[in-house]
Chain A
Amino acid sequence: MKKRVVITGLGVVAPNGVGVADFTNALKQGKSGITFHQDLKDLNFSCQIGGIPQISKDKISVYFTDLQLRGFNSSGILYGCMAGIDAWKDAGFDMNPESKLDYDTGLIFGTGTSGVEKFREAIYSLDEGNVRRLGSTVVLQTMASGVSAYLSGMLGLGNQVTTNSSACTTGTEALLMGYDRIINGKTKRMLVGSCSDHGPYIWGGFDAMRVMTYKHNENPEEGSRPMSATATGFVPGSGAGAMVIESLDSALERGAKIYAEVLGGEINSGGQRQGGTLTAPNPEAVQRCIEKAIENSGITSNQVQVINGHLTATSKDSLEIENWSKALNRTGNDFPYINSTKSMIGHCLAAAGAIECVASVIQLKEQFVAPNINCSDLHPEIESTVKPDKIPTKAIDVNFDVLAKASFGFGDVNACVVFRKFIKIS
């Protein structure tokens, strides 16, 4: 029989809440983490709003030593390490520099790009002929696997330690890659997640593509409007999410608290065929990804009660709803509850999948569906497929067992995971 895999630790650094407790409250209250940023305005960005986690210097020094913080300028690594350490401790482990090397835990922590501000700093110095004065940490902070390198050393992890990168699918993909490794008996536990830097240098390329909204600079909290008729593009975000996943045997053996079970999932690509491009999804592949995820989870599509969508607040939201509807073969009042965490935190890019997986697990554990805070004017194309009640604008308490979460990314890549409320006997 296939091994069962459960989630035993969560960590999150999100624009509307840092730490699982704050983030849970924010999700229940529909709290927005989107604010106006003067630096974006000064740099002539069309979109001058974004989501940045609020973290004090004191808080940072709980996670990093003074030496680690010398010349440190990588917000993604900061967020990733904080979320990763929190998840690790939440799972009942400690962080001790003298700990015995743990060969039974691996790490897959994804990102899109690392330390973009550090990279900028280095390039300026280098172009002035000062390569010899860059210092010792430019490589560590700007290599894609920087976050994994920092985190694995802080925790002493001895199984596979790596970084994946698949645009906005990254975090969900990291979870499923870790899941596969446990299922295949290569390890007992994996710390999985993803992170993304904040700021103009990471967001600028999207602004240039005109895919971010420019209509809400005066009212930032209303800017991220997934599924809304007046959605005009996404709001950029940043942060990190992390989960400790492990075999059920391992979790039971050490008496760990169990948040939920990972039933299964699917990762695929649309190959930029049949309507898919570098930036748009191939609908057939998206539907197949969802269908296979359900099949691999050993359930049927009518068992899905809640969906946490990718839903970024671009013109592709209607297409995503259509894809879910076709893949599940459900419409109208029969359609599951669906929400987009992005209405509160924006699109956290490479961190999106992990933060939203954490949000999904919290909703499942606490039995509520978080609100779509800016969706009072549901898009008519979506309304023709889904009964508006299924797209709550206020948090609602719902007893449910199964949640499906999907993430889609540039490059036409897809990932879908199915979580179930933990029940000891299968």
Chain B
Amino acid sequence: MTKDELIPKLKTIIAPYIQDEEAFKNLTEETDFVNDLKINSANLVDIILDIEDEFDIRLENEDMEKMLDVKSAMDIINAKLER
């Protein structure tokens, strides 16, 4: 899935959890979930579950550890979708 297709989907998923509206508005590939969007780290597991549901994939603990920003999230989702 291209960046342009994926980013809007990701934005919809993470919108309920973000605590920094400004950073969310200016979201790029480099945006970090915790440091930039101020998402409570406990909510990262909820985001993982929402991503699984949206893309019908399964994310392992290792995937979750790597999924810290928009770029890594997109890479992991695409890798799963290609399988």
**Cβ-based interface call for B6 (8 A):** no
| Residue B1 is within 8 A (CB to CB) of chain A in the complex | no
Q: B76 near A: Cβ within 8 Å? A: no
Inside 8 A of B17's CB, which chain A residues have their CB? 67
**A135 B16 Cβ-Cβ under 8 A:** no
Residues in chain B near residue A133, CB distance under 8 A: 49, 52
- CB-defined contacts of B20 to chain A, threshold 8 Å: none
A67 touches which of B16, B49, B52 (Cβ 8 Å): B16
User: Complex Cα distance A66/B15, Å?
Assistant: 11
Does A254 touch B at the CB level, under 8 Å?
Answer: no
CB pair A136–B45 under 8 Å, yes or no, is: yes
Interchain CB contact under 8 A, B45 and A66: no
Is A205 an interface residue, CB under 8 A from the partner? no
Q: B42 at the A/B interface (Cβ < 8 Å)? A: yes
Asked whether B46 lies within 8 Å of A66 as measured between CB atoms, the reply is: no
Complex interface bits, B38-74 against A, C-beta within 8 A gives 1, otherwise 0: 0000110110010010000000000000000000000
B24 CB to closest chain A CB (Å) equals 13
**In the bound complex, do residue A70 and residue B49 qualify as a contact, i.e. CB atoms below 8 Å apart?**
no
By a CB distance below 8 angstroms, the chain A residues around B43 are 67, 136
- Interface residues in A117-160 (C-beta closer than 8 Å to B): 133, 135-136
Q: Residues of A contacting B16 with CB < 8 Å?
A: 66-67, 70
Which parts of A67-100 form the interface with B (CB within 8 Å)? Answer: 67, 70-71
Shortest Cβ distance from residue A17 to the other chain B in the assembled complex, whole angstroms: 33
Shortest CB-to-CB span from B63 to chain A, Å, is: 12
Contact residues in A for B42 (Cβ distance below 8 Å): 136
Complex formed: what's the CA distance from A67 to B42 in Å? 12
Residue of A nearest to B42 (CB): A136
Q: In the assembly, what is the distance between CA of A71 and CA of B46, in Å?
A: 10
Shortest beta-carbon distance, B20 to chain A, in Å?
13
Residues from chain B with a CB closer than 8 A to the CB of A135 are 45-46, 49
Q: Which residues of chain B from 3 to 48 have a CB within 8 Å of any chain A CB? A: 16-17, 42-43, 45-46
B14 to chain A, nearest CB (A): 11
**Which of A66, A71, A133 has the most B CB atoms < 10 Å from its CB?**
A133
Minimum CB–CB distance from B83 to chain A (whole Å) comes to 19
- Taking CB as reference atom, which chain A residue is nearest B17? A67
CB distance from B60 to the nearest CB of A (A): 9
Chain B contacts for A71, CB-based, 8 A? 46
What is the bound-complex CA distance between A67 and B49, given in angstroms? 15
> Complex: how many Å from CA A135 to CA B45?
6
Q: In the bound complex, how far is the Cα of B53 from the Cα of A135, in angstroms?
A: 13
Q: How long is the Cα–Cα vector from A11 to B44 in the complex, in angstroms?
A: 34
Please, which residues of chain A bring their CB within 8 A of the CB of B45?
135-136
Per-residue contact bits, chain A 47-73, to B (CB 8 Å; 1 contact, 0 not): 000000000000000000011001100
B80 to chain A, nearest CB (A): 16
- Of residues A67, A71, A133, which shows the largest number of chain B Cβ atoms within 10 Å of its Cβ? A67
For B52, list chain A residues within 8 Å (CB): 133
Residues of chain B contacted by A66 (CB below 8 angstroms): 16
Query: In the bound complex, what is the Cα–Cα distance between A67 and B46 (angstroms)?
Result: 11
CB distance from A97 to the nearest CB of B (A): 10
| CB contact list, A36-50 vs B, under 8 A | none
Q: How far apart sit A136 and B42, CA to CA, in the bound complex (Å)?
A: 6
Chain A residues near B49: list those with CB within 8 A: 133, 135
User: CB-CB < 8 A to B46: which residues of A?
Assistant: 70-71, 135-136
CA distance A71 to B17 in the complex (A): 13
Min distance, Cβ A234 to any Cβ of chain B, angstroms: 39
CB distance from B50 to the nearest CB of A (A): 10
Distance, CA A136 to CA B40, complexed state (A):
10
Taking Cβ atoms with an 8 Å cutoff, the residues of B that contact A are 16-17, 42-43, 45-46, 49, 52
Interface residues of A (CB under 8 A from B): 66-67, 70-71, 133, 135-136
Other A-B contacts than A66-B16, A67-B16, A136-B46, 13 sampled, CB-CB below 8 A, are: A67-B17, A67-B43, A70-B16, A70-B46, A71-B46, A133-B49, A133-B52, A135-B45, A135-B46, A135-B49, A136-B42, A136-B43, A136-B45
User: Could you list 16 A-B pairs, sorted by A, with CB under 8 Å?
Assistant: A66-B16, A67-B16, A67-B17, A67-B43, A70-B16, A70-B46, A71-B46, A133-B49, A133-B52, A135-B45, A135-B46, A135-B49, A136-B42, A136-B43, A136-B45, A136-B46
- The 9 closest A-B CB pairs, nearest first, are A136-B42, A136-B45, A136-B46, A135-B46, A67-B16, A133-B49, A136-B43, A70-B16, A66-B16
